Structure 1
Amino acid sequence: MSASLLARVPVPVKLAAPLAVALLAAAACSSSSSSSGSSSTSNSTSPSAAAPAGSASSTVITTKTSSGGSFLTNSAGRAIYLFMADSSGKSACSGACAAAWPPVVATGQPTASGGAQSSDLSTITRSDGTKQVTYDGHPLYYFEGDTGPGTDKGQGLNGFGALWYLVAPSGSSITTAVTISGSGSAPAAPPSSGGGGGY
């Protein structure tokens, strides 16, 4: 618009165009920050970004007592197992196996409590990039069949090609039948052919 035409336009109209441009710019910025804010929120709560069972910024490994002695649990009392097919520092459980026996994972350095020893705790990197907690070189797992703290239905099961056992604070497997205080009897020591799936 030329200066002479602009001079003839009433003042309210002269201000309307710049004001409209400013309002459009502000709306675009607000929409952009709103959508990027909701995008980051949805990413942090999406199933793909959700942390696996047992993960935390600082996973605590502690102990509980059973008729077979002390064994490792997480801080909520959930039983922790080792897989006899694993080699030291390497997990042999992935895919369907890891769905039935979820790895104990951490995003930070795991810590020890109770009878667990800090010097025996470490992590390995799984093929999906998650950090799996190890104890005395054994990768650690939960059992999907456990209904919560105080259960150890995975004890002595034979699944995915090998046996699964609770872990003693010494790092060795507990191969006997155990009764967890207040939870009744656990499965008998002779291995069953169950264990959450095929071999």
Structure 2
Amino acid sequence: MKQILFAAVATLALAGCGSSHDGTASAGDASPSAGQSSQSSQSSQPGAGLSTSASSLGTVVVDTSGRTVYVYDADTRGATSSACTGGCASVWPEVPAGAVAAGVSGKVGSITGVDGRPQATLDGWPLYYYAHDTAAGDTSGQGVGGVWWVVSPDGDRISGGPSPTAGDDDGDDDGTGGSGPSAVASGGANAGQGGMGGY
């Protein structure tokens, strides 16, 4: 009889050690350290993801927040790295690789970006944001320096539309930021400033 009573008490004691999943945590619950929690949330955060949006330039690729993405003529299709580094990367930050690609028909992939994280590619072209686009759907980077373009859902650049002429945001740091006649004839709006104007 004592053995049965002991077994019953032992069973109840072990059952009390189990955890209930009622959504509340008790002081005795184990939790990861702050460093572990932060590290796991950073590594599991998805990238921006891609989608499409109608614009005055046609249907363009945007991220899932509606922010327009661009391709750069100085990049090489299918390359494993970006040609946009240094000051260029400040004005044209990379689009982080993500899992979503709604409405995009070109092949979505990634390369290692300048910051060491995966950068989204579309049909082999690295994708970028324009730092001066301030709202979803903005396309003010279109045609900057004659080398930056919005991209179609199949991965082709869309070269129509406005060509900005002020600043040196084309990524080549030569001081000739615009592609319009006045910018080319005068050496760009920021000539003589080491090509860093407009950043």
TM-score bracket relative to the smaller structure: 0.5 to 0.7
1:14 is matched with none
The answer to whether 1:129 aligns with 2:125 is no
The answer to whether 1:170 aligns with 2:182 is no
CA contact (8 A) 1:89 1:124 kept: no
2:107 is matched with 120
The answer to whether 1:98 aligns with 2:103 is no
The answer to whether 1:73 aligns with 2:62 is yes
Give how far 1:196 is off: 6.5
Q: TM-score scaled to structure 2, two decimals?
A: 0.60
Give how far 1:146 is off: 0.5
Rg larger in structure: 1
Give how far 1:128 is off: 3.8
Instruction: Decide which structure has greater helix share.
Output: 1
- Displacement over 2 Å in runs of 4+: 36-41, 126-129, 189-194, 196-199
Q: Aligned pair count?
A: 142
Structure 2 residue runs of 5 or longer lacking an equivalent are 1-29, 175-199
Partner SS state of residue 99, structure 1: helix
Amino acid at match of 2:119: Q
Cα distance in structure 2, aligned partners of 1:89 and 1:191: 30
Q: Which has the higher contact order (CA 8 A, sep 6+)?
A: 1
1:1-199 mapped onto 2 (5 Å cutoff)? 37-40=33-36, 56-90=45-79, 91-106=82-97, 110-114=99-103, 116-117=104-105, 120-158=107-145, 163-177=147-161, 188-189=162-163, 194-195=168-169, 198-199=173-174
Cα distance in structure 2, aligned partners of 1:67 and 1:153: 12
Structure 1's 59 and 66: CA in aligned 2 closer, same or farther, altered over 3 A? Answer: same
Amino acid at match of 1:175: S
CA contact (8 A) 1:163 1:191 kept: no
Structure 1 residue runs of 5 or longer lacking an equivalent are 1-32, 178-187
Amino acid at match of 2:87: A
Give how far 1:38 is off: 4.3
Q: TM-score scaled to structure 1, two decimals?
A: 0.60
2:23 is matched with none
Cα distance in structure 1, aligned partners of 2:54 and 2:61: 9
Question: RMSD between aligned alpha carbons?
Answer: 3.0
Give how far 1:170 is off: 2.1
Identity of aligned residues (%): 35
